[in-house]
Amino acid sequence: MKSKKGFEISLNMIIIVILALVFLGAAIFFITKFMPTEIGPIPSACDMYPPTADSPVCVNNQYEISRGATAKLEVSFYNDEDADIPSTVSPQINCGASTDGKTLALGVSAVGMQIPVGESKDFVIAVKVPKDAARTSYPCVLKLSNTEKQFLIVVE
């Protein structure tokens, strides 16, 4: 007489292993499908990220933007002032005259955020370059409250 107990245990073990692999695959699929892959916008050319009291503004040194185009500038500010920066204050960009004497009237849009003293926040600024802007380089200043930094916009 042959005993079938050993075969039944093996068959049950195979079924359990297959089910476990299927559930493991489904769990990995759902985790990778529904979990965000990006941390958020982080400025790409910062001397130090997040900004500190030594370097309170994080912005690229130069942006190249085509005429008539809208660009997304990702910047970060550290509040090294004596009081919180309220959410009613939003980042501003002012550009001076180029070496040719041309001026640039940018369309700038940003949402303000409250920044407590000693903390930093990331901002996304939408910048619209007019279609009739001269193709040259413009020195600009990025400012939030009393904190500011110079950078360059090159219109292509």
Do the beta carbons of residue 129 and residue 104 sit within 8 Å?
A: yes
Q: Are residues 76 and 149 in the same domain?
A: yes
The dihedral formed by the CA atoms of 6, 11, 17 and 19, expressed in degrees to the nearest 10: -150
Q: Are residues 33 and 74 in the same domain?
A: no
Q: Are residues 33 and 73 in the same domain?
A: no
Coil vs helix vs strand at 19:
helix
70-78/57-58 β-pairing: antiparallel
- Structural domain of residue 80, as residue ranges? 57-155
Structure-model confidence comparison of residues 69 and 35, the more confident one: 69
Q: What is the pLDDT of residue 147?
A: 85
In which band, very low, low, confident or very high, does the pLDDT at 8 lie, cut at 50, 70 and 90?
Answer: low
Say if 49 falls within a structural domain: no
Q: Are residues 64 and 13 in the same domain?
A: no
Q: What is the pLDDT of residue 43?
A: 47
Average pLDDT, rounded, for the chain:
82
Say if 71 falls within a structural domain: yes
Q: What is the pLDDT of residue 23?
A: 93
Structure-model confidence comparison of residues 19 and 31, the more confident one: 19
- Provide mean pLDDT across the span 78-102: 86
Asked if pLDDT for residue 39 goes beyond 70, the answer is: no
The total number of residues shown for the chain amounts to 156
Measured between alpha carbons, how far is 21 from 33 in angstroms, rounded to an integer?
18
Asked if pLDDT for residue 4 goes beyond 70, the answer is: no
Q: What is the pLDDT of residue 11?
A: 81
Q: Are residues 61 and 100 in the same domain?
A: yes
- Provide mean pLDDT across the span 109-123: 86
> How many structural domains comprise the chain?
2
Q: Are residues 33 and 61 in the same domain?
A: no
Q: Are residues 93 and 140 in the same domain?
A: yes
CB burial of residue 41 (10 Å; 0-12, 13-18, 19+): middle
Structure-model confidence comparison of residues 132 and 10, the more confident one: 132
Q: Are residues 106 and 145 in the same domain?
A: yes
% residues pLDDT > 90 (the chain): 6
Do the beta carbons of residue 149 and residue 59 sit within 8 Å?
A: yes
Q: Are residues 31 and 108 in the same domain?
A: no
Please write the tens of the pLDDT for every residue from 123-155.
888 888 888 888 888 898 888 888 888 888 888
Measured between alpha carbons, how far is 153 from 93 in angstroms, rounded to an integer?
11
